[in-house]
Amino acid sequence: MARRITLDFLKTESASGAILATAALVAIVMANSPADGLYFRFLEAPFTIQIGGFAETHPVLDWVKEGLMAIFFFVVGLEIKYEVLKGELANPRRLALPIFAALGGMAVPALIYLALNAGAGGAPQGWPTPVATDIAFAIAALAVAGPRLPPALRIFLLTLAIVDDLGAVAIIGAVFTTHVRVAALTAALAALALMGLMGRWRQAPYLFYALGFLIVWGFTFKSGISTSVAGVAAAMTIPVEPRKPGRPGVLQDFMESLHPYVAYLILPLFAFCAAGFDFGRLSLDDLFGPVSLGVALGLFLGKPLGVFGAIALLTGLKIARRPMGAKWVELFGVSLLTGIGFTMSLFIGALAFPGAGPEQGQVRAGVIMGSVLSTLAGSAVLAWAQARRKAEG
């Protein structure tokens, strides 16, 4: 069962990468065409959601970021819990390499960004932007560039990206929570506790879990804490155990049913809303300023340096082994692919620089530059590695 779910996940992520790229390209084209007014009016259009006594009006972009993306983080939380209990992360012997590789891949980009933004004119608050990997793009690039490379490389990249996502959520909760409304937070925690208790009811209707998640999300939204944290926290309350022997558990059912909607609808919509920026509003100083360069170099140089450096250190110290059948050049290619930040980096960048200031355009430019360079370099290395394997027979 664990193997099947992992393979289905990889297949969905590989396919969704192309859709994400298309959505981002359409956004950039619209933002730099005569349709730019239509694009930006859509993002800024006020939209009201009212459920009982809950009524909020925010721009479409905010609802996508704080509403729909909470479902994405709920699915991320489900995947993390499943991998820890039943999947690759359940084996302690396999944990060291992807965990330390993910940590290295988060620390080095942050340091590079801070080094470029420490002086006058810099914006050090954006340091978390280049720390995360976009799993959909990375898996898709690996599938295209190296379809015949060892399957262990894909599992390694998936596991690393899941650990990376967990670290990104922790950073979001710790760094981007400023003013907390205690009453709303208390209500959210109470709703979470009820969801946890409901997990003991083996036949609880799925609708109850959905309502519980909606309540947790609503109170978290009002509390001032990022709803991404609510998504992951709610996922931790979903039980793994099957209701009947031989059947998938509640968690697997939610994960399998929601993941296609997230991969093919929510993430492309977010990419469309977040990726578009007007090149005309960016000067050369903006395009190659400390924010843009910090993000781009953090992704393109920092991610592979941190990931590959951790792999080399742990294997050199014999703390961990390379993934089965993987060669060093292939691991280097995968390390380059971890620099594809895109969705997660755009999301974190929007939190680091709220509003419509010039930094938003700089962040988007840096994310796109770093992600494109990482895709091209990683794909080239992996394609060459695959050709070399074929030549060697």
Which of 100-109, 193-202, 365-374 is predicted with the least confidence, judged by mean pLDDT?
A: 193-202
Residue corresponding to tokens 């209707």: 205
The residue segments making up the domain with residue 286 are: 2-177+226-392
Write down the H helix ranges in 262-327.
Answer: 267-275, 284-287, 290-297, 303-316
pLDDT value, residue 202: 73
pLDDT tens-digit readout, 47-96: 887 776 667 788 888 888 888 888 888 888 888 788 778 766 666 667 78
Residue 263 belongs to some domain of the structure: yes
Residue 128 belongs to some domain of the structure: yes
pLDDT value, residue 148: 80
Residue 301 belongs to some domain of the structure: yes
* Tally of domains within the chain: 1
Of the pLDDT bands very low, low, confident and very high (cuts 50, 70, 90), residue 12 is low
Q: Which tokens hold the place of 163?
A: 């650990």
Of the pLDDT bands very low, low, confident and very high (cuts 50, 70, 90), residue 334 is very high
User: In the predicted model, is pLDDT for residue 220 greater than 70?
Assistant: yes
DSSP class of 73: H
Residue 216 belongs to some domain of the structure: no
Report field, pTM of the whole predicted structure over 0.85: no
The mean pLDDT of 29-45, rounded to a whole number, is 87
Of the pLDDT bands very low, low, confident and very high (cuts 50, 70, 90), residue 393 is low
Residue 49 belongs to some domain of the structure: yes
Q: 77: closest CA among 234, 215, 212?
A: 234
Of the pLDDT bands very low, low, confident and very high (cuts 50, 70, 90), residue 2 is very low
E strand or H helix at 56, and its extent? Answer: strand 54-59
Q: What CATH number does residue 248 fall under?
A: 1.20.1530.10
Helix axes 69-85, 151-175, angle to 10 degrees: 120
The upper half-sphere exposure of residue 333, i.e. CA atoms within 13 Å in the direction of its Cβ, equals: 26
Residue 59 belongs to some domain of the structure: yes
Those residues whose C-beta lies under 8 Å from the C-beta of residue 319, and which sit 6 or more positions away, are 96
Of the pLDDT bands very low, low, confident and very high (cuts 50, 70, 90), residue 159 is confident
Q: 109: closest CA among 302, 341, 295?
A: 302
Residue 183 belongs to some domain of the structure: no
Residue 196 belongs to some domain of the structure: no
User: In the predicted model, is pLDDT for residue 304 greater than 90?
Assistant: yes
Report in angstroms the alpha-carbon separations of 72 from 18, 37, 69, 264, 343. Answer: 18, 28, 5, 11, 11
